[in-house]
Chain A
Amino acid sequence: MVLVFAESVNGTFKKAAFEAVTYGYQTAEVLGVACEAIVLGKAEDAGVLGKYGAAKVHQVADDSLNQLDGQVYAAVIAAAVEQLGAKVVILSHTSTGKSILGRLAARLNAGSVPAANAVPTNEGGVFAVRKPVYSGKAFANIAISSDIKLVSVTGNSIPPVEVAGEVAVSALDIAVPASRITVKEVSRMEGVTPLPEAELVVSAGRGMKGPENWGIIEALAEELGATTACSRPVSDVGWRPHHEHVGQTGIAIRPNLYIAAGISGAIQHLAGVNSSKTIVVINKDPEAPFFKAADYGVVGDLFDVVPRLTEAIRKHKQG
Chain B
Amino acid sequence: MKLLVCVSKTPETTTKITFNGDQTALDTSGVQYIMNPYDEWYALVRALELKEALGAGTVTIINVGPAANDPVIRKGLAIGADEAVRIDKDGGSSLDVAQQIAAYAKENSFDMVFFGKETIDYNGSEVGAMTAELLDVPFVSFATKLEVEGNTATITRDIEGGEETLEVATPFALSAAKGLAEQRIPNMRGIMMAKRKPLNVVAAVETTNHTQVLSYDLPAEKSAVKLVDPEDMDELVRLLSEEAKVI
Q: Using Cβ atoms and an 8 Å threshold, which residues of chain B touch A275?
A: 219
What 1/0 flags go to A117-155 for Cβ under 8 Å of B? 000000000101001111111111111111000000000
The reply to whether B222 and A295 form a contact with Cβ atoms under 8 Å apart is yes
> Given contacts A184-B166, A311-B233, are A138 and B126 in contact (CB under 8 A)?
no
Nearest opposing residue in chain B for A305, CB measure: B230
The reply to whether B168 and A143 form a contact with Cβ atoms under 8 Å apart is no
Q: Give which listed residue, A112, A185, A268, A316, contacts B241 with CB less than 8 A.
A: A316
The reply to whether A102 and B138 form a contact with Cβ atoms under 8 Å apart is no
The reply to whether A70 and B139 form a contact with Cβ atoms under 8 Å apart is yes
The reply to whether A180 and B169 form a contact with Cβ atoms under 8 Å apart is yes
Pick the most buried of A142, A146, A192, A193: most chain B CB atoms within 10 A of its CB.
A142
Q: Using Cβ atoms and an 8 Å threshold, which residues of chain A touch B144?
A: 242
Q: Give which listed residue, A114, A143, A181, contacts B125 with CB less than 8 A.
A: A114
The reply to whether B179 and A186 form a contact with Cβ atoms under 8 Å apart is no
Bound Cα distance A14, B95 (Å):
29
Q: Which of B123-142 contact A (CB under 8 A)?
A: 123-134, 138-142
Q: Which of A268-319 contact B (CB under 8 A)?
A: 268, 271, 274-275, 277-278, 280-281, 291-301, 304-305, 308-309, 311-313, 315-316
Q: List the one stretch of B72-80, B104-112, B154-162 in contact with chain A.
A: B154-162
- Assess whether B98 is interfacial by the CB under 8 Å rule: yes
Q: Give which listed residue, A134, A183, A184, contacts B11 with CB less than 8 A.
A: A134
The reply to whether A188 and B133 form a contact with Cβ atoms under 8 Å apart is no
Tell me the number of A-to-B contacts counted with CB atoms below 8 Å. 277
Interface size class of A (residues with CB under 8 A): 35 or more
The reply to whether A308 and B233 form a contact with Cβ atoms under 8 Å apart is yes
Bound Cα distance A262, B119 (Å):
28
> Given contacts A142-B212, A186-B159, are A70 and B141 in contact (CB under 8 A)?
yes
> Given contacts A242-B179, A297-B225, are A187 and B162 in contact (CB under 8 A)?
yes
Closest approach, in angstroms, between the C-beta of B95 and any C-beta of chain A? 6
The reply to whether A250 and B178 form a contact with Cβ atoms under 8 Å apart is yes
Closest approach, in angstroms, between the C-beta of A121 and any C-beta of chain B? 10
> Given contacts A134-B17, A183-B164, A249-B120, are A305 and B227 in contact (CB under 8 A)?
no
Q: Using Cβ atoms and an 8 Å threshold, which residues of chain A touch B185?
A: none
Closest approach, in angstroms, between the C-beta of B156 and any C-beta of chain A? 9
The reply to whether B120 and A135 form a contact with Cβ atoms under 8 Å apart is yes
The reply to whether B212 and A267 form a contact with Cβ atoms under 8 Å apart is no
Q: Which of B1-30 contact A (CB under 8 A)?
A: 11, 13-17, 19
Report the 8 A-B pairs with minimum CB-CB distance, sorted nearest first. Answer: A111-B210, A102-B129, A300-B230, A194-B161, A188-B162, A106-B133, A312-B233, A102-B126
Supply 13 A–B pairs (Cβ within 8 Å), ascending by A: A102-B128, A106-B98, A115-B125, A135-B121, A136-B219, A138-B217, A139-B217, A183-B166, A193-B161, A194-B162, A267-B14, A296-B236, A300-B230
Instruction: Known A-B contacts: A98-B129, A109-B95, A135-B120. Give 14 more (CB < 8 A).
Output: A16-B160, A68-B159, A71-B139, A102-B129, A111-B211, A112-B95, A128-B214, A181-B140, A181-B167, A183-B165, A189-B161, A197-B161, A295-B225, A313-B237
